[in-house]
Structure 1
Amino acid sequence: MNTLTWIQKWYAKHCNGDWEHSYGVKIETVDNPGWSVEIDLTDTYLEDVPFDEVEEERNEEDWFYCIVRDGIFHGAGGAMNLEEILDCFKNWAAPLDED
């Protein structure tokens, strides 16, 4: 399953009439240029799962990092690194999925 489809399913799985009103997934552009991703883990099976920080810096335009801080997965990267950020989340979360 491709990463975008997987993220959509992950999000839909957690939408229970309550969770999506307070939490969710944010994907935004930033002006350096690049991407910012935030995925709230509150009330999900990932809420208390340790995450090892990922940092990849190939050059000024080709970079990304991912961390979990305060119950939120944070990812950022260059303009062409959005898929790597989402893959990082998927590669961590998918093997732990309860379904």
Structure 2
Amino acid sequence: MNVLQWLEVWYSRQCDGDWEHSQVVSITTLDNPGWSVDIFLGGTELEDKGFELLNIDRSDVDWVYGKVSDNIFQGRGGVNNLEEILQIFQQWAMLNED
């Protein structure tokens, strides 16, 4: 299963009639250019789980930043780093879900 398929399964498991009505998963672009991924964790098994700040700076176009703040996973990255951002979330989620 690739990371996008995994995210679809993870998202569907969170849907309980209420959770999915929040701003829960947002994938948008940045103007530098790059990607922004926000995933609301409130009401999931990942709520209040620790996430170590991640800051990888390979070049001006190849970089990844990640943190959890206010129960939102926030991933940012360069124009070719969307899959890597999702993989970071996937790995962290799989380590922290019961």
- In the TM superposition, residue 23 of structure 1 has moved relative to its aligned partner by 3.7
The code of the aligned residue for 2:86 comes to L
- Name the CA distance, whole Å, in 2 between partners of 1:61 and 1:97: 32
SS at match of 2:48: coil
Match of 1:45 in 2: 45
SS at match of 1:48: coil
Assess if the C-alpha contact under 8 Å between 2:3 and 2:87 holds in 1.
yes
Assess if the C-alpha contact under 8 Å between 1:23 and 1:42 holds in 2.
no
Pair 1:96 & 2:96 matched? yes
- Name the CA distance, whole Å, in 2 between partners of 1:90 and 1:32: 25
> Please, what TM-score do these two structures have when normalized by structure 2?
0.95
The code of the aligned residue for 2:30 comes to V
**Aligned-pair identity (%):** 51
**For residues 5-34 of structure 1, what are the alpha-carbon distances to aligned partners after superposition, in whole Å with 9 as ceiling and x for unaligned?**
111111110111111011410000111100
Paired residue total = 98
- Name the CA distance, whole Å, in 2 between partners of 1:10 and 1:31: 28
> Please, what TM-score do these two structures have when normalized by structure 1?
0.94
Match of 2:85 in 1: 85
Assess if the C-alpha contact under 8 Å between 2:49 and 2:96 holds in 1.
no
Match of 1:65 in 2: 65
Unaligned ranges ≥5, structure 1: none
- Name the CA distance, whole Å, in 1 between partners of 2:55 and 2:70: 18
The code of the aligned residue for 1:5 comes to Q
The code of the aligned residue for 2:40 comes to D
The code of the aligned residue for 1:35 comes to W
